[in-house]
Structure 1
């Protein structure tokens, strides 16, 4: 670890920033790889997604038709 710090300190500020950015990329890749696609966890997450009934959708569609007919108040 000391060798790594010595090498890092010898780099210019620009190269240090590049190295840190690369290390962040590696950390992100590592986090992504940890996910093994556990379907049980995924199913629990999607249970909390709201659902709309046919009546809700009907109301939205009807109100969308009325959008062009709004009267804008004049000042």
Structure 2
């Protein structure tokens, strides 16, 4: 499951985020809660739209491809 999440981040999320001068890194997946913890880096770290990107973009995509994912949260 973590492998699927990592592959999606690498192939679909990271290239899109990089276009805006940012990066995203996987921190952990909590199998008990279904929460993926990601850290925003670069230009995305302080961007006010990063929460929307995480929730409406990345979370929806991960939930569609990996049904065990319930939510995505920003790691500190």
Same fold (TM over 0.5): no
Tell which structure's C-alpha radius of gyration is larger. Answer: 1
If each structure's strand is expressed as a fraction of its own residues, which one has the higher value? 2
What's the TM-score once normalised by structure 2's chain length?
A: 0.31
What's the TM-score once normalised by structure 1's chain length?
A: 0.31
If each structure's helix is expressed as a fraction of its own residues, which one has the higher value? 1
